[in-house]
Chain A
């Protein structure tokens, strides 16, 4: 059973006018709206200005004559100036708020043919914002005055109801998705779902986003693509500003982020706007946000919430409206528990959290990403780089196996492809190139302890011959290697001694740490110069 149709409209002070009998020969939209053979208006809420009361009454009585099924209720609404947007909007808004809409029982139409253009715009806006929960009714005059044939259209502002528009939006969304994925036809379902969500959020929201994931998973890359997508849709007009918070240390951190004014501190010879200001109307990507110091965290929170902050040394706050994307590979919840990260800041940036999976979790995406990397090199160098079919399948087979750790994720893949492309003869990567690269990657991903062990072996080999090392116990080899590593990091024997004997020297009266170290090294036939020389000229 279809619901009774209620019409809401503004009396057209010109179109609906007419007192003499010949008014019937003219098209009066409010009357005509009640005369359509295929549209039955059961109630008509006719809004009019107080001075047009007589006209409204005549229109109501004419409607009663042509359409006795229609109950017309007149509402006197004072717009004062029907062309004043504010007055009209508030008048109509007040009516809409007070009107007892019952969308379960009735269907509502908003007549947008009558009234001033401003009134029509306001009706449209109120319908669009669902203050007037109905569809729009647009009526049009007959082809010739006095003839039948007046037509009407019902316009639903719910765009998803139009098939053609829906497919257009779907296409636009598809473009957005492909764009976020840099055109890579990724196959991993988890990743693709994630990108779909990011696309929706990026288009619909200006709230901060948090991208987590291991290093090299593509956080910065994704942030930049989000920025470019938003700029294409004209949601952002400023620029993309990125900073790795791990590089912000000490006094400079505040100034780098929030800027300073000339003379704020020694060396502040000019005004510096700071990164937040540079990102005004653009996008600020703060990578490794967990590394941010407590003062910076507090200031950032205010900048996000109020869109204003105080530059170093300034008396007045400045404003910057930026979209924030934060990146982290740390567990920020954990950092909050340990008191290293502000809980309120996390809550603010945590509204949309997207966890980028590492490459190892997206093995089906290796192939499209391999193509992407090859194409990138081709684009960058101008030389076409390709792989033989055998090389390609060998690489993919190994890359997708559990042997391949991909600990630095896409950074590893990118480096691998760059290395293979560089070494390949005539731009064609062979199976042999692939084999060598796989070996390199394997070494790179050796477990940390063996790697450390081998590093310490390296340290020994730099100062002792293999024969000598082989005569040492493992106990001595490990101890000596650690001592050598510290020595290589220090500038003097005294400094090395202080670090090596840091605990025991506290309980001693005399501190001859360099002597203790000198004696220890002498046991292996080594002097400071042997080590220091190596350290000054690393291979």
Chain B
């Protein structure tokens, strides 16, 4: 591969983690352009690629027939030369070294715009502390992604907790030729709030204590809390608190772990909910990071009359993770990403760089009355029922 046509990424920029590797590879698969990532995880205690990155990379390489140079443990330089994306049936076994959700995130960008539908089975860890849990993908991220055109359905066939793993998720992907952007500036009316506790191979009273604490702190009715004993290898315990609105859903997660009391796990979840409710912004810290990529993909598409490219969202605070992601997307895609500080939150706007070819939809992005918008401005205070 000629160096000239290759984009070189500094893997140590910003928070310098595995996200840079996954996003770069995911977009390389979409664009068909080779990338070279240097200084991967430089400055970390264990620099270079770890197994979880390798599993995600290998999955991405498989769906687009990519050639990789430097895809080995501790490697700090990786070249990824993608071929054409091949939609179809895939089964990835990632063990506990790679989280199933992180692998899915890496292959999704290419498959949601592929020529044909795909069906993916991923076996391994579905719920571990260092990756978004499956429920987050299913409840929060995928509904938003599906509003952009594709139809991605994910189901959990088996739970895979750390360290035993053994989980299994099943994902079907109906791709969309074009990704339609959106503006997400308002939560909309509150639809529901609830809490759910997963427990496996552990005394049930752990879940009961967590439920009790959640109910008290979040003012939940008994019918709004469910305890869900699940079958899995090894012990597992998670606490979810979900806030569903008209336009968006937020899911807070607490991980039960050795050395941390049930009450503390519940409190961690409550804390995340309180953080989310501090501002009226609809997009939580993690979601901001997740939707930037599809939004930037839509903004990078060639101009057509019908498709809205890019969009905007309001988010309470930008993590270092997210600002790194923004910088990376600016490097990888022909997009403009602007962050405007508002009184209590931030407005992030993602737009095409070829603004002279503004189409109807782009113009309407700033028009609150546009029917092309998914979500409209409604100056209402956020729900305070919690």
Q: Does B96 contact A (CB under 8 A)?
A: yes
Pick the interface stretch among B45-53, B101-109, B266-274, B337-345: B45-53
Query: In the bound complex, what is the Cα–Cα distance between A40 and B74 (angstroms)?
Result: 11
Chain B positions within 8 Å of A65 at CB level: 95-96, 164-166, 233
Chain B positions within 8 Å of A145 at CB level: 258
Q: Does B234 contact A (CB under 8 A)?
A: yes
Cβ 8 A contact of B46, one of A1, A38, A40 = A38
Q: Which residue of B lies closest to A34 (CB)?
A: B95
Q: Which residue of B lies closest to A27 (CB)?
A: B163
Chain A positions within 8 Å of B52 at CB level: 37
Contact A62 B54 (CB under 8 A): no
Which residues of chain A in 1-53 are interfacial with respect to chain B, using CB atoms and an 8 Å cutoff? 1-2, 21-25, 35-40
Q: Which residue of A lies closest to B166 (CB)?
A: A65
Contact A66 B165 (CB under 8 A): yes
Contact A68 B93 (CB under 8 A): yes
Q: Which residue of B lies closest to A63 (CB)?
A: B95
Contact A37 B72 (CB under 8 A): no
Chain B positions within 8 Å of A67 at CB level: 95-97
Q: Which residue of B lies closest to A4 (CB)?
A: B72
Q: Which residue of B lies closest to A31 (CB)?
A: B163
Which residues of chain B in 181-218 are interfacial with respect to chain A, using CB atoms and an 8 Å cutoff? 201
Chain B proximity mask over A47-76: 1 for CB below 8 Å, otherwise 0: 000000000000000100111110000000
Q: Does A183 contact B (CB under 8 A)?
A: no
Cβ 8 A contact of B258, one of A21, A25, A37, A62 = A25
Q: Does B259 contact A (CB under 8 A)?
A: yes
Q: Does B73 contact A (CB under 8 A)?
A: yes
Q: Does A144 contact B (CB under 8 A)?
A: yes
Contact A144 B163 (CB under 8 A): no
Cβ 8 A contact of A68, one of B72, B123, B258 = B123
Query: In the bound complex, what is the Cα–Cα distance between A62 and B95 (angstroms)?
Result: 10
Q: Does B78 contact A (CB under 8 A)?
A: no
Measured CB to CB, the closest approach of chain B to A40, in angstroms, equals: 6
Contact B164 A40 (CB under 8 A): no
Q: Does A147 contact B (CB under 8 A)?
A: yes
Q: Does B288 contact A (CB under 8 A)?
A: no
Q: Does A263 contact B (CB under 8 A)?
A: no
Q: Which residue of A lies closest to B47 (CB)?
A: A38
Contact B163 A37 (CB under 8 A): no
Q: Does A146 contact B (CB under 8 A)?
A: yes
Contact B95 A68 (CB under 8 A): yes
Q: Does B334 contact A (CB under 8 A)?
A: no
Query: In the bound complex, what is the Cα–Cα distance between A276 and B284 (angstroms)?
Result: 90
Contact A62 to B50, CB < 8 A, known contacts A24-B235, A147-B259:
no
Contact B50 A37 (CB under 8 A): yes
Q: Does B16 contact A (CB under 8 A)?
A: no
- The total of chain B residues at the interface (CB under 8 A) is 27
Contact A39 to B163, CB < 8 A, known contacts A66-B95, A145-B258:
no
Query: In the bound complex, what is the Cα–Cα distance between A35 and B51 (angstroms)?
Result: 9
Chain B positions within 8 Å of A62 at CB level: 164, 233
Query: In the bound complex, what is the Cα–Cα distance between A24 and B54 (angstroms)?
Result: 24
Contact B124 A35 (CB under 8 A): no
Q: Does A313 contact B (CB under 8 A)?
A: no
Query: In the bound complex, what is the Cα–Cα distance between A301 and B160 (angstroms)?
Result: 74
Q: Does A148 contact B (CB under 8 A)?
A: yes
Contact B96 A35 (CB under 8 A): yes
Q: Does B257 contact A (CB under 8 A)?
A: yes
Task: Kindly name the residue among B46, B54, B95, B162 whose own CB sees the greatest number of chain A CB atoms within 10 A.
Answer: B95
Contact B73 A69 (CB under 8 A): no
Contact B73 A68 (CB under 8 A): no
Query: In the bound complex, what is the Cα–Cα distance between A18 and B109 (angstroms)?
Result: 42
Contact B201 A21 (CB under 8 A): yes
Contact A66 B201 (CB under 8 A): no
Cβ 8 A contact of A2, one of B72, B96, B166 = B72
Task: Kindly name the residue among A24, A35, A145 whose own CB sees the greatest number of chain B CB atoms within 10 A.
Answer: A24
Cβ 8 A contact of A24, one of B51, B72, B123, B164 = B164
Query: In the bound complex, what is the Cα–Cα distance between A39 and B258 (angstroms)?
Result: 24
Query: In the bound complex, what is the Cα–Cα distance between A68 and B91 (angstroms)?
Result: 12
Q: Does B94 contact A (CB under 8 A)?
A: yes
Q: Which residue of B lies closest to A65 (CB)?
A: B166
Q: Which residue of A lies closest to B71 (CB)?
A: A1
Q: Which residue of A lies closest to B54 (CB)?
A: A40
Measured CB to CB, the closest approach of chain A to B188, in angstroms, equals: 39
Chain A positions within 8 Å of B235 at CB level: 21-22, 24-25
Chain A positions within 8 Å of B74 at CB level: 38
Contact A37 B46 (CB under 8 A): yes
Contact A147 B233 (CB under 8 A): no
Q: Which residue of A lies closest to B236 (CB)?
A: A24
Chain B proximity mask over A452-480: 1 for CB below 8 Å, otherwise 0: 00000000000000000000000000000
Cβ 8 A contact of A25, one of B51, B94, B123, B234 = B234
Chain B positions within 8 Å of A1 at CB level: 72
Contact A40 to B51, CB < 8 A, known contacts A35-B163, A69-B95:
yes
Chain A proximity mask over B259-286: 1 for CB below 8 Å, otherwise 0: 1000000000000000000000000000
Contact B50 A24 (CB under 8 A): no
Contact B50 A38 (CB under 8 A): yes
Contact A37 B164 (CB under 8 A): no
Task: Kindly name the residue among B50, B52, B93, B164 whose own CB sees the greatest number of chain A CB atoms within 10 A.
Answer: B164
Chain B positions within 8 Å of A21 at CB level: 201, 233-235
Q: Which residue of B lies closest to A24 (CB)?
A: B234
Contact A144 to B233, CB < 8 A, known contacts A1-B72, A21-B201, A22-B201:
no
Measured CB to CB, the closest approach of chain A to B69, in angstroms, equals: 9
Q: Which residue of A lies closest to B93 (CB)?
A: A68
Query: In the bound complex, what is the Cα–Cα distance between A21 and B74 (angstroms)?
Result: 33
Which residues of chain A in 101-148 are interfacial with respect to chain B, using CB atoms and an 8 Å cutoff? 144-148
Contact A68 B94 (CB under 8 A): yes
Contact A144 B259 (CB under 8 A): yes
Chain B proximity mask over A132-168: 1 for CB below 8 Å, otherwise 0: 0000000000001111100000000000000000000
Cβ 8 A contact of A35, one of B97, B233, B258, B259 = B97
Chain B positions within 8 Å of A148 at CB level: 162-163
Beyond contacts A37-B97, A66-B95, A148-B162: 18 other A-B pairs, Cβ-Cβ < 8 A, are A2-B72, A21-B233, A21-B235, A22-B235, A24-B163, A24-B201, A24-B235, A37-B52, A39-B73, A40-B51, A40-B54, A62-B164, A65-B165, A66-B164, A68-B95, A69-B51, A146-B259, A147-B258
Q: List 5 A-B contacts (CB under 8 A).
A: A21-B234, A68-B93, A68-B123, A145-B258, A146-B258
Ranked nearest first, the 3 interchain pairs of A and B with the lowest CB-CB distance are A24-B234, A146-B258, A68-B93
- Taking Cβ atoms with an 8 Å cutoff, the residues of B that contact A are 46, 50-52, 54, 72-74, 93-97, 123-124, 162-166, 201, 233-235, 257-259
